[in-house]
Chains A and B, each alone.
Chain A
Amino acid sequence: MTLVQISLATGFALIFLGLYGALSNRNILRMIVSFTIASTGVNLVLVAVGYLPGREAPILDTIPVASAAERITDPVPQALVLTAIVIGLGVTALMLAYAYRLFRARGSLDISDFTELKW
């Protein structure tokens, strides 16, 4: 296994674990924790997909501009991941605020207690 494959596999495994945790844990906070694990996995997958084995970070302080195309790794996924991380934090914060309010409303953090809306 190469580094890329390891990272990719780790990423997918984290998504797998995170999703499973989010779908099987009734506790709302634990669901949110699981989702953060899954999104870490997603980020890992994103970066790994853009990685070119043996290449350097896309910062041209030591790399001459002329040879940049041969030496740096793909910067695009990195840019995307940056965005994804920040968005992930936003969503997590929002879910946490919701969790708090739900707890205030019912005194419970069990997702199966919030089912008045149905059918």
Chain B
Amino acid sequence: MVNPLLILAAGLGAAFLLGLLRETSERAAFHTTVGALAVMAFVALSWTVALASGQTDPVEMLTAGAKPPFAINLRTGIAEAALTSVVTLTGLLSAFFMRRDLLRLGRRAMAVLLVLIMALSGLIMTRDLFNMFVFLELIVIATAGLVLLSKDTRALAAGFKYLVVSQVISILLLIGIIFTYHANGSLNIDDISEVPMGANGASLAMFLVLIALILELKPFPANGWALDIYESAHPGFSAIFSAASGSAALFAVYKVLAMAGPDWALLAAGIGIVTFVGANLLALAQTHDRRLLGYSSVGQIGLILLVIGFADRLGDSFLYIAGGLLVSHAIAKAGLFWLSGMVKARDLSDWAALRENPVLVVLFAVFIAMLTGLPPFPAFYAKWSFVHVLATDGAYSLMAVFLIAALIEATVLFRWFGMALKRSSGHSLHISLTGEAIALIAAALAIAVSWVWGNLSGQENLITLVPLLFALLFLPLDILPARIKNVLAIAGLVFWFAVTKNGLDPLRYVFLIIMVLGGAILLLASFHATGRRMGFYTPALLMFAGMGLLVTSETSFQFFAAWEFLTVGSYFLILRGQDSEPHALSYITFSLGGAFALLAGFAIAANGAPTFPIENLSEVPSRIAPYVFVLLAAGFLTKTAVMGLHIWLPGAHAEAETDVSPMVSGILLKAGLFGLFVLLMEMGRQELFGVDLTIVLVWLGALSAFIGAVLSAFQEDAKRLLAYSSISQMGYAVFGLALMNHLGWLLALMFAINHFVYKSMLFLAVGGVKERTHTKLMYKMGGLITLMPFTFVSVLVGIIAMSGVPPLSGFGGRWIFYNAIMSTDLRLPMILIFMAGPVGFLYLFRLIHTIFLGQLKDELRLTKEAPFWILLPQMLFVGFLLSFAILPGMILRRVDSYIGTLFGDTPLVWTGKIVDSQYGTWNPVAIWGVIATVFVVVFILLIWMNHNAQKVKQFNIVFSAERPFKPQTTHFAWNFFAPYRKAMGFLETPVATSFWSGVSNMLHGTADFTRKLYTGNGQTYAVQLLFFVIAVYLIAMGGLS
């Protein structure tokens, strides 16, 4: 192993060597630069590997042949080695990225780059306080030099502002250093840490050193200068500024904090969280891509500072957590800055140009996911561990603030991603193969570190999960035709079902069938798509992978990771819809919000453990159990779109593609239901402030069922109608679950199965109609019964099943349902849920009437039947519904006896195909017989009565002379339920929507107002900096005294 000092020597030596080359040989100079950076990176990486694998011990490097503190010494341990690797690699890759501009400016610029990377490495390794100052000044000067690489003339002003601020910082730092030296008689960091903090003077000195270094981290709000640099500098340099400089400065703060002692840690943590929240909040109002990245950098570094503030508390896991966050930040941020170099214009929506190159879109998604802390990236593990530590410490409010800020950050980033995917850009891409290759290398590094972090996690290594790998396999396979990929995908799902189904309890088995086999069936509809259909299969399979893993998960960690997979996968899937951008954003925001609630719940329940088996939820101490219950229930209810948390659903489901709507409605919603099943099964009834939480759930379920149905009735858009209907149906299921008795659970399970079947069917049917008529608005349709008979049949069967009239399985659900609610003594919600039934008839009636009955529109006369592949799954479902109606025992009986083991009762008595309960008997075969007889009788009767009725031609109508104001108002389907609207319209008042948009407006308003702080005046920035120092000083002195 070579001495790590070679990193410094190589950087400096090469920088000096450049001056000896001939003036004209810029290429040789560039090769020298890159060569030196490669040597530096190699040394750093080899030390990282050796230290990580335990082949060597951390090394102390003495200089000048004297021992510290008399001479400067440096150290390379695992943290130092890893950080210098980050720094040097970023430098190397960025050097390639900036090749053209470096050659343009010549070797002086290259020398500056080399010195910057050298100084960053030195700052990381040195153990001497004053030496740190020297390296910091080198970094400042080199930064001011490299800002000039930018062709943006405004960069000049940014560089000057940076210098002004740096002057103030170095004054503070020098004063702090000399008084620290005076108090301790040493400049060596390890020496000083051994001496406990001395008198007031010494602690003040320490404060100055600490605050000066923290200011280098660009804490909010004393950071306007840094944002200006991010906005105007060369993207290749910004990558260094964010990833490398940020990492090095963080480590410097860490060293000094270790020296300052635990009293100061709280202060650092406080500054960290304020910065994390402030930066992410302000990012909400940002439309400039690089400035947004700047805010995000500031926020991430604030977050890591928060973690550093907790270093003592985290113990061994500190490096794992801080490192996970840091490495994710570094790779993702550098990658995004590099990508921004390929986008010509600077508005967020200009990233739409990325679509010219699918690889870049994938890279963009990878970096965004990495930054947001989604699995399987290191930040995911880090967040998991960190939140668990916070929960163990009882730092609940901090945890809440942290999670809310993380949610805002995710919203900002996904909003951006949505724009890139859905907007159009007036500029083409600035394609650069080097740039693309560099971004690809960054993504490869992302995967490598994910593997490492997974391995170290002590949990499952998420990146080696077969379903995930299977989903990712479709990225390279995307060049194949869609049909081939579809075959593969279906085969994969069936295979996964076959290998995981053994050993599951009946409840999980049912959900596995719905989620995995159901997915395979719905994918049949995807055969309809032609061409390649790029970017469909990876998200779809990611979602199914998440669901498959969710059902089979055993620990809270696995459960949460699966939850995130399915959330992200479905987000990408929903985003594919034509007008889905805002809806996909609200979907991901709510979903991640729910996911964070789950995370918090799991963390509190874990009670200090890194993870725990899901079944141990039942053993959570009663002191915290109600809170855990509330958090987990909130997470799951977000997914089932309970009233109040539902506003994402209608848009997301309605705007998704034809074959995606059934997936996200028929299948995805069941994930929330599954969660509630597990939750209630393990935790049972909980009381908070004397309120039985299951009763709250009963109410929520009943309200969702009723209001969802009412809203559904008033929709003009057929898919929105179905979407609101899903809210209502999920309400029934929640209601049933919350009853906490055998019949209630059976009801919920029936709804899970039935809702999957008929909602998938109806969405496919309506989707098929939309494919042919190119509209979802029902008043533009009518009379399609003769043109689309199969679709009509499936809608007919679907609504019969759903409305719960005999003979189809919906009736079975209803029957159990009536039995179930009879067994409860909650009268009011019971009435609500009863009333939801008739309202359900209203919208279902409308669905079939306005689409298929009545008059055919002139422009739709040539409409054909829906495509075969969209019809096929519908017909399968029709077949299933019919047979399930006759033989409900197929599935139900097994589940019934399983639920019996949970509750220890058998309210249903099965004799053959006949079921008996306390309140009555259900004999499906007999019912079929009766219904068939009645139907035939009535049918014959009708034919006989109408045998001589006059046939009227379709367009045999006499119009009056009036010309309608709006053509659609003449259609009978327009405002179909006007009278009902008069009566129940008040329910339509968008209370939840206004609430959430109020929250959103308030946040945006705050952001827009606060960012006016950044006036752009360098002097003002310096004043703010001083103000920050004084404020922190007053707070610290108040806190310490």
Within 8 A of A (CB), among B279-325: 285
Given contacts A22-B1022, A49-B179, A80-B130, contact A95 B160 (CB under 8 A): yes
Which of these, A15, A19, A95, A118, contacts B163 with CB under 8 Å? Answer: A95
Which of these, A26, A35, A49, A119, contacts B1012 with CB under 8 Å? Answer: A119
Chain B residues closer than 8 Å to A118, beta-carbon distance:
224, 228, 1014-1016
Q: Verify B171–A26 contact, CB threshold 8 A.
A: no
A36 to B760, CA, bound (A): 74
Within 8 A of A (CB), among B999-1041: 1011-1012, 1014-1019, 1022-1023, 1026
Give the interface residue-count category, chain B.
35 or more
Q: Which of B133-141, B487-495, B563-571 contacts A (4 or more CB under 8 A)?
A: B133-141
B749 nearest CB across to chain A (Å): 54
B860 in contact (CB, < 8 A): no
Question: B135-177 interface mask toward A, CB cutoff 8 Å, 1 = contact, 0 = none?
Answer: 0010011001100000001101111110110111011001101
B178 in contact (CB, < 8 A): yes
Q: Verify B178–A80 contact, CB threshold 8 A.
A: yes
Q: Verify B174–A46 contact, CB threshold 8 A.
A: yes
B181 in contact (CB, < 8 A): yes
A22 to B170, CA, bound (A): 14
Q: Verify B174–A117 contact, CB threshold 8 A.
A: no
B84 nearest CB across to chain A (Å): 23
Q: Verify A116–B1016 contact, CB threshold 8 A.
A: yes
Given contacts A26-B1019, A38-B171, A112-B1019, contact A49 B231 (CB under 8 A): no
Which of these, A42, A49, A102, contacts B160 with CB under 8 Å? Answer: A102
- Nearest B residue to A28 via CB reads B160
B128 nearest CB across to chain A (Å): 11
Chain B residues closer than 8 Å to A98, beta-carbon distance:
144, 156, 159-160, 163
Given contacts A23-B1026, A91-B141, contact A115 B159 (CB under 8 A): no
A8 nearest CB across to chain B (Å): 11
B187 in contact (CB, < 8 A): yes
Within 8 A of A (CB), among B226-266: 227-228, 231-232
Most buried by B among A28, A35, A114: A114
- Nearest B residue to A106 via CB reads B157
B685 in contact (CB, < 8 A): no
Chain A residues closer than 8 Å to B145, beta-carbon distance:
94
Chain B residues closer than 8 Å to A69, beta-carbon distance:
none
A77 to B182, CA, bound (A): 9
A118 to B1018, CA, bound (A): 10
Q: Verify B157–A114 contact, CB threshold 8 A.
A: yes
Q: Verify A49–B178 contact, CB threshold 8 A.
A: yes
> Tally of A-B residue pairs with Cβ under 8 A?
114
Q: Verify A117–B175 contact, CB threshold 8 A.
A: no
A30 to B845, CA, bound (A): 80
Q: Verify A91–B164 contact, CB threshold 8 A.
A: no
A77 to B180, CA, bound (A): 12
Which of these, A23, A45, A87, A94, contacts B1022 with CB under 8 Å? Answer: A23
Within 8 A of B (CB), among A90-117: 90-91, 94-95, 98-99, 101-102, 105, 111-112, 114-117
Which of these, A35, A83, A115, A119, contacts B1017 with CB under 8 Å? Answer: A115
Which of these, A84, A87, A117, contacts B228 with CB under 8 Å? Answer: A117
Chain A residues closer than 8 Å to B1014, beta-carbon distance:
118-119
Given contacts A95-B160, A98-B163, A119-B1011, contact A42 B175 (CB under 8 A): yes
Most buried by B among A26, A38, A46, A118: A118
B789 nearest CB across to chain A (Å): 60
Chain A residues closer than 8 Å to B161, beta-carbon distance:
114
Chain A residues closer than 8 Å to B224, beta-carbon distance:
118
Most buried by B among A22, A38, A117: A117
B347 nearest CB across to chain A (Å): 14
Within 8 A of B (CB), among A61-80: 76-77, 80
Q: Verify A114–B1018 contact, CB threshold 8 A.
A: yes
Chain B residues closer than 8 Å to A42, beta-carbon distance:
171, 174-175
Most buried by A among B145, B158, B1011, B1016: B1016
Chain B residues closer than 8 Å to A28, beta-carbon distance:
160
- Nearest A residue to B147 via CB reads A98
- Nearest B residue to A36 via CB reads B167
- Nearest A residue to B288 via CB reads A119
B119 nearest CB across to chain A (Å): 12
Given contacts A42-B175, A76-B181, contact A91 B1017 (CB under 8 A): no
Given contacts A31-B1019, A116-B1016, A118-B1015, contact A105 B153 (CB under 8 A): yes
Q: Verify B154–A117 contact, CB threshold 8 A.
A: yes
Chain B residues closer than 8 Å to A80, beta-carbon distance:
130, 177-178
Which of these, B166, B170, B231, B1023, contacts A117 with CB under 8 Å? Answer: B231
A84 to B137, CA, bound (A): 10
A106 to B1022, CA, bound (A): 22
- Nearest B residue to A92 via CB reads B167
Which of these, B137, B231, B1019, contacts A87 with CB under 8 Å? Answer: B137
Which of these, A26, A35, A45, A105, contacts B167 with CB under 8 Å? Answer: A35
A7 in contact (CB, < 8 A): no
- Nearest B residue to A79 via CB reads B130
Q: Verify A94–B163 contact, CB threshold 8 A.
A: yes
Chain B residues closer than 8 Å to A94, beta-carbon distance:
141, 144-145, 163
Q: Verify B178–A31 contact, CB threshold 8 A.
A: no
Chain A residues closer than 8 Å to B182, beta-carbon distance:
49-50
A77 nearest CB across to chain B (Å): 6
Within 8 A of A (CB), among B386-425: none
Interface CB pairs A-B, < 8 A, 8: A22-B168, A23-B1022, A50-B182, A76-B181, A84-B174, A94-B141, A111-B1018, A118-B224
Q: Which 3 A-B pairs have the closest CB atoms?
A: A118-B1016, A115-B1016, A114-B157
Contacts A90-B137, A94-B141 aside, 14 further interface pairs with beta carbons under 8 A come to: A19-B168, A23-B1023, A23-B1026, A35-B167, A46-B174, A77-B178, A95-B160, A105-B153, A111-B1017, A114-B161, A114-B1017, A117-B158, A118-B228, A119-B1016
